[in-house]
Amino acid sequence: MPGTMQCDIVTPERKLFSDEVGFVVLPAAGGEMGILPLHASVVAALKMGEVRIQQGLGEEVTRRYVVSGGYAQVDGNKVIILADRASDVSEIDIPTTEGHLAELQTERTALGIDEARAAYLSSQFAWETFKLEVARKK
């Protein structure tokens, strides 16, 4: 389609999204970055945030993903998002995520001095909390 670009969202586990789109908003480390077709080439580090996709420019947001870490590579009419973690917002089950948060909190509270495990749990807790916040914005 004219006025579109290829967009792929990939994690170490799988490809979450691949389609022609008109506009993408990325959570770059320096702030949100809007990408249109024929964008200048850039590689940007990603922070925890929301990717919003419009099928056509000026249309409603059609897809939303939460990502945590990774990079985005933009080159003309192609956007590749290589995320450390990502979830499709439409697939986030709020009760399941709330249950997972409660389990993580219980384990964090019961944890002794295992600093590596504490850091991992804090990272997981932040991820699950963010997913829940974005999912509730529907």
> How does pLDDT run across 11-33, given as a tens digit for each residue?
999 999 999 999 999 999 999 99
Q: Does 105 lie in the same domain as 56?
A: no
Secondary structure (3-state) at 58: coil
The domain tally of the chain equals 2
Judge whether 121 and 110 are in contact, CB under 8 Å: no
In this prediction, residue 21 carries a pLDDT of: 95
Q: Does 81 lie in the same domain as 34?
A: yes
Residue pLDDT, tens place only, 41-75: 999 999 999 999 998 777 787 899 999 999 999 99
- Domain extent, residue 31, equals 5-89
Q: Does 131 lie in the same domain as 104?
A: yes
Residue pLDDT, tens place only, 93-109: 999 999 988 888 888 77
pTM value is 0.82
Residue that has been written with the tokens 């789109």 in this structure: 21
Q: Does 82 lie in the same domain as 132?
A: no
Mean of per-residue pLDDT scores for the chain = 90
**Encoding tokens for residue 27?**
């959570």
